[in-house]
Amino acid sequence: MSSTPRTAAAAALQEGEAPRERIKVTKVVDGEVVEEWIEVAASDDAPRWQAREDLRLLDSDLRRVDGPAKVTGRARYTHDVRLPGMKYGRLVRCPYPAARCTVDVDSATALPGVRVVLTIDDGETRYLGQPVAAVAADTPELAEDAVRALAVRFEELPWAVTRDQALAEDAAPVGRDGNVADVRTDGDLDAAEAALATCDATVEATYEVPVQHHVCLETHGVVVDYRGGDEATIYASTQWTHVVHRERLPERLGLEGSQVESVVEYMGGGFGSKFPTGIEGRMACELSRELGAPVHMMLTRRDEFLLAGNRSGTHQTVRAGATADGKLRAMVSEVDKLGGIGRGSHPGLPYVYDVETSHLRIRSVLTNLDSNRAMRAPGHPQASFAMESTVDELAHQLGIDGLEFRKRNLASLVYHRQLDAVAEAVGWADHPNKVGPDTSDSEVKTGIGFGVSTWGTRGRPACVVTVRIGPDGAVTVLSGTQDLGTGTRTYVAAIVAEELALPLDAVEARIGHSSYGAANGSGGSTTVPCLAPAVKDAAHKARVAVLARVAEVLGADPARLALHRGQVIHLERPDERLGWAEACSALGADGLTTTGEWVASLTDAGVHGAQAARVQVDTLTGQVKLEKIACMQDCGLPLNRLAVRSQINGAIVEALSYGLFEERVVDPDLGVMLNACLGDYKIAGCADIPEIVAMIDDEDTRGPIGIGEPPIIPTHSAIANAIFNACGVRLRSMPLSCDKILDGLVANGTWAGGEA
C-alpha cells in the first residue's frame, strides 16, 4: 500500500468509510523484535491522556502495589508452587558439544521414589548440555539421584565451540549447510573504500564481545497441575502468559486450549530469555500426563548456563574514517554473530551515528553451543561497543573532545540536549583531559566516557483489558499480561485510578492469568505501549458509563458531571455531589463492566538516550573503580517516575556487570564450559555499583513508550571510553578486566610499576 497515512484517511472519508491510517508497530516473535505495518482507525473521539499538570498519579513517584507481597514473602512464584501429590522433574544433559547417545532407563527407574523416565533424544545431539532425558521422582533429591543413575552411553562426535574452530577448513559441520548462515551485505563497498581513502583520520580495529548469560534469579521452569481429568493449570516462569497455549502445551496433556489455565502471577526475571517454556515445559507436561499428577520442573543453575539461552557474542572488524572537522565520512565493517546453534543478534553498523558512506557484511557463525535468545535490547549493546569505541578513537586522533565529536555526528538535537545533561552530571566542564588521556604523574587517573542509545518500539493491537465496578464501588482491572518485576500492576491500577479520580489503593489490578484476556509478551519494551492504551480505553469507557448511569438517577446531563477526588460533582452546581460508593449504588446489582483495546493515538515510538561514565584507574594494579554513571532517557509520558528510574538503574547495573565481569568461558579443546555456576561466572555485586544519576527527559511530551531496552545499551561502551580517557589503554574486547589494562599500560610504557 503506497498511500501515506494522511492520503489514506482522506480517501476513506471520500468513500464514506471510517478513516484509517497506516502505522508501523512492533511485536516479539520467538523472542526477537520485528516490525510490521498495520492499518488502524483514525478516530478524533478516542480517549486522550490528560495534560501533565492535571495528572494526580501518573508522571509521579508511585510505590509498587505488589511491594508488600514481595517483601513479606506472600508473593508466590512458580518455584514456590507446592501441590498435593506433586513430583519433581529434572533434565539429563549431554556432557559433550556433539555426540551420539543411547539411553537405558532401567537403572534409574529401579530406584525407590523414581516414578518415570522419558527419553527426549536417543540419537545425535548438537550442543553442549542438550537434554537427552527427563525424570520425575517424589523429591528433588531423588530426582537428582535418578539423573546420576540413568545409564546413557555417549559417542563423542567432532564439534566446534569457538569462532576459529567453526571457520577452520576442516571444521565439524554445525548447521545443515555448514557453519556460516544468513550472510547479508548493505551499502556500496567501492564507494566506502574510496571515501576511506579521503579521510584525515582512520581507525582499523576488531572489537570482540563475549557471550553474556541472563542469570535470572528464578530459574526457567513450570509447574504442571494435571491430575488426569479434563482440566489443568500450568504455572510458568515466563515473559508471556499466553505462550503456554501458543506452544500447544495443552495438547501434550491431551487437552484443548480452553481446558488449561496459564498462570504467571510473579516471575523472577527473564531479560528476554523466558519467552518459550522450552524443553522443560514440554517435558513437564509429558511427565505429568504419564503420571496423572502435578510435576514441578525448574531448571538447576547449571542447566541455566548450558541450555537456557544467552546474549550472543560478536566479532566486529571495523575500518572507519573522519574528516579534520570531525565528521564521520566512511565505515567498512564485517560482523560475525556468535549465537551457538542460533543466529545471534545485531542491528548492523553504523549504529546511531551518521556516516556519509558505509558498507556492512554481517553473518552468523554457528557453534555447538546452546542457541542465543533475546536479551534486553537484543544485539544493540554489541553494536554500541564497536561503534562508540570507533567514534572515540577517531575523536582522539583528531584532537576533538569526545562530547563535541559526538554531537557533530548526531543529527537529532535530542541527543545533543541529553549528552549535555549527562556531561554536566559527571563534571565534564571541569575535566582536565577532554581530548586525550591523563598524562600526569598521578598513579590513580580519572577518565570520562560517553555513549548513546536508541530504540524504536511501538505497541500494537494485542491486549484486551476489562474494568469492573461493583455496586459497592469496588474497582477491579483484569488483564492477561504479566509483570516481570517492572511494575506493570502498579501502572495498570494507576491509569484506572487516575481516570476515575480515585486513590491508587482503591483499584485492584489482577494480572497473570490467561483467562483474564489477550495480552502480548513482555519483550522489546512492548508491554507499556501495547497495554497502557488498552487500560486507558477501558477506564475511559468506565468513567463515561458511570457518569451516564448517575446522570439518569439525578436527571442531569452527563456532560455536566465529573469525577473529582472520589466524588461525582455537578460542574455548574459544585455543592451537588455524591461519594463514589453512593454513586456506584446507581449501577444496579451487577455493577458495570467495560472492555478496552489498543488505541494507536495513546502511544508513540522511538526513543533516545545518552550516558556518561566517570571512572578511576589505578595504573599500578589495573583496577577500575566506577565513580559515577549518569543517564538521561526519553520515554514519552512516564506512567510511574519511580519505576522509570528503577528501570534505568537496573539496566545500568546489568550493563556495567556485562562490561567489567561477565563472560562465558568454554575450553576449546575439552568442549567444557568452565564457569557454569555463580561461583565462577562473575557478576557485579553491591560494592561494584557506583552513584547512578537517572534522569527522565521531560521535554518529551509524547504518549508512554517502553523504557526497558535503551538504558542497557551504551553503559559498557561509556566505561571503556572512560578507561581510555583516564589511562590511554584502548580495550577492544570485553570484559574490561584489570589484566587487560595492565597489559596495555605495560605496552604503552605507562605502568606505574616501572618496566615490566
Q: If we measure between CA atoms, which residue out of 281, 135, 95 comes closest to residue 676? A: 95
What is the distance between the alpha carbons of residues 750 and 753, in angstroms, rounded to a whole number?
9
Instruction: Name the percent of the chain lying above pLDDT 70.
Output: 94
When the candidates are 3.90.1170.50, 3.40.50.2300, 3.40.1170.10, 3.40.50.1110, the CATH number that belongs to 82-157+224-298 is 3.90.1170.50
Long-range contacts, stretch 119-123, CB < 8 angstroms, 24+ apart: 120/91, 120/279, 120/283
First-last CA distance in the chain: 67
Q: State the pLDDT confidence band at 458, using cuts at 50, 70 and 90.
A: confident
Residue-level pLDDT at 4: 36
Q: How many helices (H) and strands (E) does the chain have?
A: 19, 30
Residue-level pLDDT at 22: 66
8 Å CB contact between 213 and 310: yes
Q: If we measure between CA atoms, which residue out of 642, 459, 630, 451 comes closest to residue 533? A: 459
Residue appearing with cell numbers 527527559: 697
Q: What is the domain class of 459-602 according to CATH?
A: alpha beta
Question: Three-state SS for 628?
Answer: strand
Mean per-residue pLDDT for 102-122? 94
Q: What is the pTM for the complete model shown? A: 0.94
Mean per-residue pLDDT for 524-548? 97
Question: Three-state SS for 304?
Answer: helix
Spacing of C-alpha 230 from chain mean position:
36
Task: Count the neighbouring beta carbons within 10 Å of the beta carbon of residue 736.
Answer: 22
> Does residue 94 register a pLDDT over 90?
yes
Residue appearing with cell numbers 548526531: 410
Domain 82-157+224-298 and domain 313-457+604-748 have a common topology:
no
- What secondary structure does DSSP assign to 66-120, as a single string? THHHHHHT-S--GGG---TT-EEEEEEE-SSSSEEEEEE-HHHHTSTTEEEEEES
- Digit-coded pLDDT (tens) for 429-450: 999 999 999 999 999 999 999 9
> Does residue 755 register a pLDDT over 80?
no
> Does residue 17 register a pLDDT over 90?
no
- Digit-coded pLDDT (tens) for 292-311: 999 999 999 999 999 999 99
Residue appearing with cell numbers 604523574: 441
For helices 488-499 and 527-554, angle between their N-to-C axes, nearest 10 degrees: 30
8 Å CB contact between 714 and 453: yes
Instruction: Name the percent of the chain lying above pLDDT 90.
Output: 91
Mean per-residue pLDDT for 715-731? 98
- Digit-coded pLDDT (tens) for 264-296: 999 999 999 999 999 999 999 999 999 999 999
Question: Three-state SS for 504?
Answer: helix
What is the distance between the alpha carbons of residues 27 and 39, in angstroms, rounded to a whole number?
15
Q: What is the domain class of 313-457+604-748 according to CATH?
A: alpha beta
- Digit-coded pLDDT (tens) for 141-190: 999 999 999 999 999 999 999 999 999 999 999 999 999 999 999 999 99
- Digit-coded pLDDT (tens) for 507-523: 999 999 999 999 999 99
Q: If we measure between CA atoms, which residue out of 579, 699, 556 comes closest to residue 634? A: 699
Residue-level pLDDT at 574: 81
Residue-level pLDDT at 5: 39
Structural element, H or E, at residue 365: strand 357-365
- Digit-coded pLDDT (tens) for 580-634: 999 999 999 999 999 999 999 999 999 999 999 999 999 999 999 999 999 999 9
What is the distance between the alpha carbons of residues 605 and 648, in angstroms, rounded to a whole number?
18
> Does residue 745 register a pLDDT over 50?
yes
Residue-level pLDDT at 40: 62
Residue-level pLDDT at 44: 55
Residue-level pLDDT at 695: 98
Q: Where are the beta strands (DSSP E) in 293-344?
A: 295-298, 313-322, 328-338
Q: If we measure between CA atoms, which residue out of 141, 110, 114 comes closest to residue 290? A: 114
Mean per-residue pLDDT for 697-701? 97
Q: State the pLDDT confidence band at 32, using cuts at 50, 70 and 90.
A: low
Query: Higher-confidence residue: 260 or 573?
Result: 260
In whole angstroms, how far apart are CA 431 and each of 399, 403, 449? 15, 12, 11
> Does residue 86 register a pLDDT over 80?
yes
Domain boundaries, the chain: 5-41, 82-157+224-298, 313-457+604-748, 459-602
> Does residue 23 register a pLDDT over 80?
no
What is the distance between the alpha carbons of residues 285 and 235, in angstroms, rounded to a whole number?
11
Q: State the pLDDT confidence band at 18, using cuts at 50, 70 and 90.
A: low
Q: What is the mean pLDDT of the chain?
A: 94
Q: State the pLDDT confidence band at 754, using cuts at 50, 70 and 90.
A: confident
> Does residue 352 register a pLDDT over 80?
yes
Residue-level pLDDT at 7: 38
> Does residue 30 register a pLDDT over 80?
no
8 Å CB contact between 185 and 359: yes
> Does residue 14 register a pLDDT over 60?
no
